[in-house]
Amino acid sequence: MKPSSILPEAKAAGLFGRFPREGLVSLLVLAAVWETLAQLSPTLGIPPFAVPSFVRIGRSLLTVTPIDVAITLLRVLGALLVSFVLGMTLAMVMYLSETLERHARPVIRLLMAVPIISWILFAILWFRGVEFRVAFVLVIVCAPVFLVDALDSMRDVSRDWRDMLRSFRPTRVQFFTKLMLPATLPSILTSWKIVMSLAIRVVTIAELVGAVTGIGHQLNVAQQLFSVADVFAWTLVLVASLFLLEYVLTLAEARLLKWRPA
């Protein structure tokens, strides 16, 4: 029998996901309104730099420096990997020790309640290195999300499966590799999607206030130059990068979860 192939939603998902026609129409209307405003801005008394035309934004896009994009993406991916490993490890330890979980849960809730801007300020006050500051902020924001999601989904793994596996006497490592990780993989991948978009937003703010490279820094420069076109161009690059990363994740999801019934 032929195993089920790629999930239909993954098949349908392109770079922009299952994009409805209505959504495309809305975006086109928004673009048209923007361009009209840009053209009419002098007569409406709006400063021309405030609503740049698409031609002006296009020119700004041509000045985008790939190195800054690469630096931001590397920061995001590096921090996500560290956060994931840290979050998963702590989730597994807390799964094994309910006492530790009872002690650690309130601390994690506290960490998650701290505003991102406060973490950035702490990072600036506590650490010197720019890279370390950015990494610290990303990890402190992202790791708890991975941890809580993983722990909750581990606790949700059916008792029937746990008892079945335990009846065969797995080692602790086998218990996680043969059951817990594959069983929680769908929710782990969902966490990645959530945390990835969170990380893109966080890294921008962190770079905005504390870095001399990256998209956030370039946004800061554009703001100082009062160049809305540049802000728009860098924002577009950021959003496109997020869509690209999400697309890669969707492909990985389709491959890793091919066993799921259509």
Region of 23-31, 34-42, 174-182, 193-201 interacting with another protein (CB under 8 A): 174-182
Query: What does 139-193 look like in DSSP terms, one character per residue?
Result: HHHHHHHHHHHHHHHHHTS-HHHHHHHHHT---HHHIIIIIIHHHHHHHHHHHHH
Q: Is 16 in the site for another protein (CB under 8 A)?
A: no
As measured in angstroms, the least distance from the Cβ of 161 to another protein is: 6
Nearer to another protein, 128 or 169 (CB): 169
Q: Does residue 173 bind another protein (CB under 8 A)? A: no
Verify binding: residue 224, another protein, rule CB under 8 A: no
Q: Does 179 bind another protein (CB under 8 A)?
A: yes
What DSSP element (H or E) covers 118? Answer: helix 116-126
Q: Should residue 59 be labelled a site residue for another protein when binding is judged by CB under 8 A?
A: no
At residue 62, what is the residue type?
Answer: L
Residue 48 is classified by DSSP as: T
Binding flag, residue 5, another protein (CB under 8 A): no
Nearer to another protein, 106 or 261 (CB): 261
Q: Contacting another protein (CB under 8 A), which of 67, 174, 244, 251?
A: 174
Q: Tally DSSP H helices, then E strands, for the chain.
A: 12, 0
Among 35, 86, 104, 178, binds another protein (CB under 8 A): 178
Residue pointed to by tokens 């606790």: 155
When asked if residue 17 is in the footprint of another protein (CB under 8 A), the reply is no
Closest CA to 157 of 131, 185, 136: 185
Q: With CA atoms as reference, report the closest residue to 246 among 76, 91, 20.
A: 76
The answer for residues whose C-beta is within 8 angstroms of residue 148's C-beta and 6 or more apart is 108, 112
Is position 189 an interface residue for another protein (rule: CB under 8 A)? Answer: no
Closest among 224, 248, 197, 231 to 15, alpha carbons compared = 248
- Using CB under 8 A, pick the residue from 21, 22, 168, 224 that binds another protein: 168
In the complex, the smallest distance separating the C-beta of residue 261 from another protein, rounded to whole angstroms, is 4
Q: State yes or no: residue 163 binds another protein (CB under 8 A).
A: yes
State the residues that interact with another protein by CB under 8 A.
1-4, 160-161, 163-171, 174, 178-179, 182-183, 185, 257, 259-261
